[in-house]
Amino acid sequence: MAGKGTILLVEARFYDTIADDLVLGAQAVLEGAGFATERLPVTGVFEIPAAIRLATASNAGYAGYLALGCVIRGETDHYDHICREASRALMDISTDGVALGFGVLTCEDRGQAEERADPGRRDKGAEAAEACLRMIELRQRFTPG
């Protein structure tokens, strides 16, 4: 375990290669900042908020959480429902004082997703990790004790 604690990476595995790229970018940032990481796979983006709620309720002592995954638009409105509900649930978690980085890609096609997940290009996994680190700092600043 790194000196500052552990960040739980909750990763939707529906698009495995995209999830792996998001994790690579996130791990580089978090480990560079002195945090260990633990990976928790879930089936899809819809399951991420429930997994994070279960982890927070367990009092496992994670320093923060990353929500990592991808939703790609299809031919039905399923995309809209998943994006809206997962985002809403993750916002609810974050406003409860949980240090959370949002790394869920919502893309029109696989090409967009691959570009955004690529650690050598847009690197949204790294951006989510940076957001999580900032929220950890803010929680420490505003939490008494």
- In tens, the pLDDT along 77-89 reads 999 999 999 999 9
Q: Which residues contact 128 (CB under 8 A, 6 or more apart)?
A: 22, 26, 66, 67, 68, 101, 102, 103
pLDDT per residue as tens digits for the range 30-62:
999 999 999 999 999 999 999 999 999 998 999
pTM of the model: 0.94
What are the structural domains of the chain? Answer: 41-142 (3.40.50.960)
CB-CB neighbours of 121 under 10 Å = 12
**pLDDT of 7 higher than 80:** yes
pLDDT per residue as tens digits for the range 87-120:
999 999 999 999 999 999 999 999 999 999 998 8
Q: Could you give the residue numbers annotated as active site?
A: 78
In the structure, what pLDDT confidence band is assigned to residue 2 with cuts at 50, 70 and 90?
low
Q: Rounded to whole angstroms, how far apart are CA atoms 112 and 78?
A: 19
